[in-house]
Amino acid sequence: MTPRPRTLVTGAAGFLGSHLCEALLSAGHEVVGYDNLSTGRLANIGAPLRAPLFRFVEADVLDSPRMVEALADCDLVFHLAAHADVRRNPEHPALVFEQNAHATLALLESMRKSGIRRIAFASTGSVYGENPIIPTPENVPFPIQTSIYAAAKLASEGLLSAYAEAFGFQVFIVRLVSLLGPRYSHGHVADFLAQLSLHPDHLEILGDGRQRKAYLDARDAAQALLLAAQRCRQRVNVLNAGSRCLTVERSARLIAARLGAEPRLRYKGGRRGWPGDVPDIRLDCRRLRKLGWKPRHSVISSLEQTVDYLLEEKNSRTAEITRAACESVNAG
C-alpha cells in the first residue's frame, strides 16, 4: 500500500487555498493548512477543519521555525500564500515583494532544512506582460514585466527553478489567470457589486471596458495544481491554466443582470484600467490539457456563483453586525 501523502498548503485559508485543501483531502492526502490569516479566513476552511486528516497552523511563511515544525513528515508543498491585490501594488511595492518573493525564498530554505524537495507554486499569467502572442504559450519570447506583482511572482519562479538545479528540488509552476467562484475575496466583481449597491443606476469601469480577461474557477485552478504535482515528470515544470475570457464590459453586464440592475456604464482612463493592467490576457493551456486537465466550470456560471457568494456573504456579515450590535445593547 502506498503511504498516505502528507502535504502542506500555504495560504490554506485563502480563496484558492481553501479549495485546494478540499481537493487534496478528497484525493486522500493528509493536509497541513498553513496561513497567517492576514487575508485568509477560517470560515473558508469550515469543512477541512472538521476533517480528521486536516491540521491547521496559524503562522507566517516568513516565520521559519514555525514553518520547519509544520513541514515535519511532509512530502509536498503547495505555495499559494501571496499578496494578491494586484491593482493596489504600486502603493506598497516593498510589501508586495516581501510577501510574493522573499516569502518564497524563506519557504524554500525551510524546505531545504527539512529535506523536502517537491513544491507546486501558484504563479500568474501576468508574467507574460503585455504579450503580442495571444493565446500565450509557456515558451513565448522572453517578456517584459509590467507589474511589481508579476515581477515578484517571476522572481519566485526563478528561485524555484534555481533550487531545482542547485538542490535537486522538483517544481511545478502553474501560471493562473484571475480566479472566480465561491470564497472570492477581492477584485472587479466585488468592486462592481459594491458600486451597484450604492448606486444601481450606474457603474464606473476602470479602462475602456474592452480589456479581455481570462478567468478560471478556483476549483478548476486547484485541480490544475493537483494534477501538475501528480503527473509532471520533469524537474522544472511550467504550465498555464486559464483560457476562457470575457471583456470587462460583458463581465459588468452579467454582474448587473444577476442583481437585476441595468446600470449605465461609465468608462474611466484609457485602454488600461490601472498601471500594470494587461488589456488582453489569454493563455494557451494545451500543455495542461495534455495531462488530462479539463475545467468543469464555465466562466459565466463561475461569475454568477461569485456574485451569489458575495451577496450571501454580505447578508451574513450584515446579520453578524446586527447580531453583534444587539448583543452589545443587551450587554449594556
Residues that bind a second copy (CB under 8 A): 89-90, 93-94, 97, 101-102, 105-106, 108-109, 129, 138-148, 150-152, 154-155, 157-159, 161-163, 165-167, 236, 238, 275-276
Q: How far is the CB of 158 from a second copy (least distance, A)?
A: 3
Q: How far is the CB of 161 from a second copy (least distance, A)?
A: 4
**Which of 151/281 has CB closer to a second copy?**
151
Q: How far is the CB of 81 from a second copy (least distance, A)?
A: 18
Beta carbons within 10 angstroms of residue 42's beta carbon: 14
d(CA 6, CA 21): 12
Residue type, 201: D
**Which of 263/273 has CB closer to a second copy?**
273
- Identify which of 152, 144, 26, 21 has the alpha carbon closest to the alpha carbon of residue 85: 152
d(CA 331, CA 111): 49
Q: How far is the CB of 130 from a second copy (least distance, A)?
A: 9
**Which of 13/238 has CB closer to a second copy?**
238
The answer to whether residues 210 and 249 touch, using CB atoms and an 8 Å cutoff, is yes
Dihedral, CA of residue 272, residue 276, residue 238 and residue 108, to nearest 10: -160
For residue 329, give the H/E element and its range. helix 299-331
**Which of 46/93 has CB closer to a second copy?**
93
Half-sphere exposure of 112 (CA within 13 A, CB side): 16
Q: How far is the CB of 87 from a second copy (least distance, A)?
A: 11
Tell me: cis bond preceding 135? Omega within 30 of 0 counts.
Answer: yes
**Which of 158/292 has CB closer to a second copy?**
158
Whole-Å CA distances, 137 to 26, 191, 307: 31, 30, 30
81 three-class SS: coil
**Which of 123/305 has CB closer to a second copy?**
123
Cell 498553513 appears where? 34
Q: How far is the CB of 121 from a second copy (least distance, A)?
A: 13
Q: How far is the CB of 61 from a second copy (least distance, A)?
A: 14
**Which of 58/63 has CB closer to a second copy?**
63
Whole-Å CA distances, 89 to 4, 52, 60: 40, 38, 20
